[in-house]
Amino acid sequence: MDDQPSVGAVLDQIAPRLRDAREKKNVSLAALARATGISTSTLSRLESGQRKPSLELLLPVTAALGVPFDQIVAAPRIVDPRVPQQATTRDGRILIPLSRQQGEPRAYKMVIPAHDGDPHLRTHTGHEWLYVLRGRLRVQLGDHDFVMGAGEAAEFDCRIPHWFGAAGRGSVEVLSLFGKSGERIHLRASHR
């Protein structure tokens, strides 16, 4: 099986890449038309995919925008999307990063041992979303003290005094999304 995109798929990406490059440079279609000698209507059709891209059109446009030609026409490099599973241990808890990027939100799988049941409430900036994968999770959030089972989720502002740990005799596995910015976690799902 070939991992490279088809020629048609590459050509379909030229129109949005041209529009994105022009908008990032803050250049109007009229200004680009003046700089290239290509009519505004032709440039508009090229950006909307209604005009087939050709070297005669693309070379002057990329030159006028000051963007590399291959940025517009090259197939995107396909990289392995899997995240390396490099576990670390903090306060007896195993943290496995599930996101490669250094930005936010950060995603982790957490394994909390059964002996980690002594609550120590703390506060800090940020927002956390938890999903119990396996076991039972005890959560203390302000005046609330409750236990969550597999398949349950919680979301909270980390400025509220909080703690969570294993409830019962076994360890608990949790999926955690954390953002320091204090904004709520937003999940997007496609509708089929």
Q: What average pLDDT does this structure show over 170-189?
A: 71
- Given a cut of 60, whether residue 190 has pLDDT beyond it is no
Q: For residue 153, what pLDDT is reported? A: 95
- Given a cut of 70, whether residue 80 has pLDDT beyond it is yes
Q: For residue 116, what pLDDT is reported? A: 64
Mean pLDDT rounded to a whole number for the chain: 85
- Given a cut of 90, whether residue 176 has pLDDT beyond it is yes
pLDDT, tens digit (0-9, with 9 covering 90-100), for 53-77: 888 999 999 999 999 988 888 766 6
| Residue 119 CA: distances (Å) to CA of 57, 69, 166 | 66, 58, 10
Helices (H), the chain: 7-24, 29-36, 40-48, 55-65, 69-73
Delineate the domains of the chain, giving CATH numbers in brackets.
Answer: 7-73 (1.10.260.40), 88-179 (2.60.120.10)
Give the span between the Cα atoms of 93 and 171, in whole angstroms: 10
Residue 86 pLDDT class (50, 70, 90 cuts): confident
pTM of the model: 0.56
- Given a cut of 80, whether residue 186 has pLDDT beyond it is no
pLDDT, tens digit (0-9, with 9 covering 90-100), for 5-52: 667 777 788 999 999 999 999 999 999 999 999 999 999 999 998 998
Cα 130 off chain centre by: 17
Q: For residue 5, what pLDDT is reported? A: 61
Q: For residue 180, what pLDDT is reported? A: 75
Q: What average pLDDT does this structure show over 134-149?
A: 95
